[in-house]
Amino acid sequence: MKKYLFFAASAALLMACSEKPGYDITGTVSDSNLNGKYVYLYTYGSNDAAPLDSALVQNGTFTLKGTQETPALRTLRFAEDVVEPVRANTGENAPFSATFILENGKLQATLGPSSSVKGTPENDALATLQDKIKATRQDWDKLIKDMKSEDKEVAEAAGKKLDEIDAAVTSFVKSYITDNNNKQSAAKLFYDFRYNLTEDEQNDIIAQADSVFKTVPGINAMIDHLNILKNVAVGKQFTDFEMADAKGQMHKLSEYVGNGKNVVLIDFWASWCPPCRREMPNLVNAYKQYKNKGFEIIGISLDSNADAWAKGVKDLNITWPQLSDLQGWKNAGAALYGVNSIPHTVLVDKDGTIIAKNLHGNELNAKLKEVVK
């Protein structure tokens, strides 16, 4: 009998050793209306592709099991006709959807108005960060509403508070990214917060990141974009291009820039862009103050409709030269200057050297006071 027990124990041990490790996702769904519906597992960044797996929600729970050879970003969500997609705040999960690191181990998914996946060190760290982001933004919706107030003081106070919250969130997200430059979750956040990070900050992060970080969807495009920006960095000569004015006549940028006469602000904007419209009165005032002192502005519009462009120029009292190829975000000049958000400004000295980028408001006024004599 002892001999039999020995062999039985040995066989069980061998079977256990031969079993591949796997993942076991236990999920809960807070909405009872989703009972009887399927939740799907997708490759992150490929939501149009077929799901990798699915699970039926029963009594508010579901289970997914499998084996994952290497950790990878995945997204859990319902079909769009079951849960209508909602755009989430940057860095947060959308309701009833969660992006996480799929890796072998026991994972716990919570899908609801606030969603998360926990159970492994990286997923736990990501969920903690997301909770911190959400807590910091607890007054976000009210402040957005207050910004639209007709009471100027209320609107300005709300705008200031929103900027403070945004800066705080960006600060601790940046810390997470730099502390985890070998993690896919950090790479996803890097992509999500790319508009909040300066060009120098992005270059520093990429320089330190490992190959796993760089495999995340979107990172290669960011690297390509940063390489374009190096060609139009501060201290470089401006890049020339040719584009039509509102009458269809072609002009080279060099007709206005680098001719030894003026300091020139190249302003990438569009009539449909609210931040551009908010900034325009400042540009109008700066132009009035400095246009006879060796200062010029050349507007590059990312409009795609000629009538909307013309109306924007008129309504905003723009009197400086304007060019556009009416290709929207595919604007050829914007591509050469790595423009992926507007308003985007490039300040060029009289000899064609780029001396500053993305100056707005008081920062632009201070710089013009320094360089335009």
Contacts of 281 (CB under 8 A, 6+ apart): 316
Pairing mode of beta strands 72-78, 97-102: antiparallel
Question: Residue 309 phi/psi, 5° resolution?
Answer: -60, -50
Domain boundaries, the chain: 20-117, 140-231, 242-371
Answer yes or no: is pLDDT of 19 > 80.
no
Overall average pLDDT of the 303-325 stretch: 96
Which residue, 80, 100, 83, is CA-closest to 92? 100
Answer yes or no: is pLDDT of 260 > 50.
yes
Overall average pLDDT of the 40-44 stretch: 96
DSSP labels, 150-181: SSHHHHHHHHHHHHHHHHHHHHHHHHHHHHTT
Which strands make up the sheet holding 116-118, listed edge to edge? 61-66, 23-29, 105-111, 116-118
Overall average pLDDT of the 286-302 stretch: 95
- CA–CA distance, 192 with 214 (Å, rounded to integer): 14
Pairing mode of beta strands 263-269, 295-301: parallel
| 354 in Cβ contact with 348 (< 8 Å) | yes
Q: Using 50, 70 and 90 to split pLDDT, how confident is the model at 276? A: very high
Q: Please give the DSSP secondary-structure letter assigned to residue 209.
A: -
Q: pLDDT tens, 128-162?
A: 999 999 999 999 889 889 888 888 899 889 989 99
Q: Percent of the chain, pLDDT > 70?
A: 94
CATH superfamily of 242-371: Glutaredoxin (3.40.30.10)
Overall average pLDDT of the 20-47 stretch: 93
Q: Using 50, 70 and 90 to split pLDDT, how confident is the model at 247? A: very high
Average model confidence (pLDDT) across the chain? 92
- CA–CA distance, 62 with 29 (Å, rounded to integer): 8
Q: What is the pLDDT of residue 125?
A: 97
Which residue, 323, 320, 319, is CA-closest to 246? 323
Q: What is the pLDDT of residue 47?
A: 66
Answer yes or no: is pLDDT of 15 > 60.
no
Q: pLDDT tens, 158-199?
A: 989 999 999 999 999 999 999 999 999 999 999 999 989 988
Q: What is the pLDDT of residue 166?
A: 93
Question: Residue 345 phi/psi, 5° resolution?
Answer: -120, 145
- CA–CA distance, 373 with 369 (Å, rounded to integer): 7
Structure tokens at 359: 């100056």
The pTM score is 0.80
Domain 20-117 has CATH 2.60.40.60: no
**Residue 244 CA: distances (Å) to CA of 53, 253, 301, 352:** 51, 10, 11, 21
